[in-house]
Structure 1
Amino acid sequence: MFEFTYARVMTLAYQASLFDDPGAAAVVGVLGESVQRIPLDSGAWIDLRPGWVANSDSLFEDLVGAVEWRADRREMYDRIVEVPRLVSWFGEADRLPHSTLDDAMRLLNEHYAHLDAERFATAGLCFYRTGDDSVAWHGDRVGRSTQRDTRVAILSVGAERVLSVRPVGGGQTERFPVGHGDLIVMGGSCQRTYEHAILKSAKTVGPRISVQFRRA
């Protein structure tokens, strides 16, 4: 366990991974047969690759300091509230904040190239500082992906949080603990027929950064 202070002058306690090599650079691993496919209903599926990025704590620490984090605001009922997490976004023409993310996007595109012509081209980053930070139930259906299937790949670094997934309209919730370099990919009809969330946690949890790779 160690503590660090990031640019918004907040000190956070963080439990390092027991599997990392202290001081070693982050390394993106292979995909291929190491990816576990979990079929869902209505043509949706989830791919899991635990520990895809080795020594991911160093990537987490670099992103904390290198990324220009901002607190978004949104209208809720009759008032404007802050989104309960920090965010940053990198478009198709933007330079990603770390070379490890370049490697990750390239390997993802190579791995899924046999499915169709869709390619990951953008990266949205979310910084969940404590268990109070969260994202409500939603499906990523924006822009050209509103009426068509699309893939979303999420790389998690930092402390473990639970990604909850359930059918649109309600049903059984599946829970996927992700952190410390884990990869989860939601594909097929998943963004249309399922929704996902990072729910608030009453337990003491450490900080986590998720990197969401999406099509342009």
Structure 2
Amino acid sequence: MDLFNNDQLSLFGASKNLLPFDGEVLFYPHFFKQDVFEQLVNETPWKQDKMKIYGKEVNFPRLTAWYGESDEVYVYSGVVNVPVRFSPLLLDIKQAAERQSGHRFNTALLNYYRDGNDSMGWHSDDETELGGNPVIASVSFGASRVFQFKHKRDKHARVSIALNNGDLLIMQGQTQHHWLHQVPKTSKMQGARINITFRFIG
């Protein structure tokens, strides 16, 4: 499957950094030309994880799935994730993201935002397993959602961008050291969205 937009290859050679300082986030709009949202919805073994808030167990405000090349588990937010093997579709998407970023990825976290009530709170992808300056490729399919950054020390430094179907975002450099990011709830969302974040766990 040719998911990568070869006709526009020359357009994706460079991208302006979305962050003003202390990190690098590169944005490639409409990077994937084929809409695979429904296929991802149907073939992914989604699960409903739970977390504890003030001692009470509540559902994550989204569905998730964890993929990897090996059997190594990944723990975040207190949830133990045992990887599923990459599907042919996810391998195609991963390889296109690898070509653009110049980095290899061996895991993928999929988040399924079913409506505007599903969200992801402020966090950094700074787990030890990801290394000192992780490169993370984020791919969006389905409905548009706002993606936000805020600096950990400078309260006035904020960046917001709408991620649409087929968009690719690459976070690298010092980004995870200095910035938090989130997908906030919204009452304006039309339809559902899937986000895939590819990482390398050493």
TM interval, shorter chain, is 0.7 to 0.9
Partners of 2:10 and 2:172 lie apart in 1 by 16
Q: Which runs of 5+ in 2 are unaligned?
A: 71-83
> What residue is the counterpart of 1:138 in the other structure?
123
Say if 1:187 and 1:78 are closer, same or farther in 2 by CA, change over 3 A.
same
2:23 alignment partner, one of 44, 47, 54: 44
Q: Is the 8 A contact 1:28 1:100 kept in 2?
A: no
1:167 aligns with 2:151: yes
CA shift for structure 1 position 32: 5.8
Say if 1:38 and 1:102 are closer, same or farther in 2 by CA, change over 3 A.
same
Q: Kindly provide the CA deviation profile for residues 72-111 of structure 1, in whole angstroms up to 9, marking residues without a partner as x.
A: 10111121111000000002235323x3421232233233
Q: TM-score, normalised by structure 2?
A: 0.83
1:180 aligns with 2:159: no
Partners of 2:167 and 2:40 lie apart in 1 by 16
Give the share of equivalent positions with the same residue, in percent: 29
Instruction: List aligned pairs for 1:33-112, cutoff 5 A.
Output: 33-34=11-12, 35-38=14-17, 40-56=19-35, 59-93=36-70, 94-97=84-87, 99-112=88-101
CA shift for structure 1 position 26: 6.7
CA shift for structure 1 position 122: 0.5
Q: One-letter code of the match for 1:165?
A: F
Q: What secondary structure is seen at the aligned counterpart in 2 of 1:156?
A: strand
Q: Is the 8 A contact 2:19 2:159 kept in 1?
A: no
Q: State the aligned residue count.
A: 184
Q: TM-score, normalised by structure 1?
A: 0.78
1:197 alignment partner, one of 182, 185, 202: 182
CA shift for structure 1 position 39: 5.5
> What residue is the counterpart of 1:10 in the other structure?
none
2:109 alignment partner, one of 124, 148, 151: 124
Q: Is the 8 A contact 1:37 1:45 kept in 2?
A: no
Partners of 2:147 and 2:31 lie apart in 1 by 17
Q: What secondary structure is seen at the aligned counterpart in 2 of 1:177?
A: strand
Say if 1:78 and 1:122 are closer, same or farther in 2 by CA, change over 3 A.
same
Q: Is the 8 A contact 1:46 1:184 kept in 2?
A: yes
Q: One-letter code of the match for 1:95?
A: R
Runs of 4+ displaced beyond 6 Å: none
2:4 alignment partner, one of 28, 34, 58: 28
Q: Is the 8 A contact 2:101 2:170 kept in 1?
A: no
Q: What secondary structure is seen at the aligned counterpart in 2 of 1:38?
A: coil
CA RMSD of aligned residues (A): 2.0
Q: What secondary structure is seen at the aligned counterpart in 2 of 1:84?
A: coil
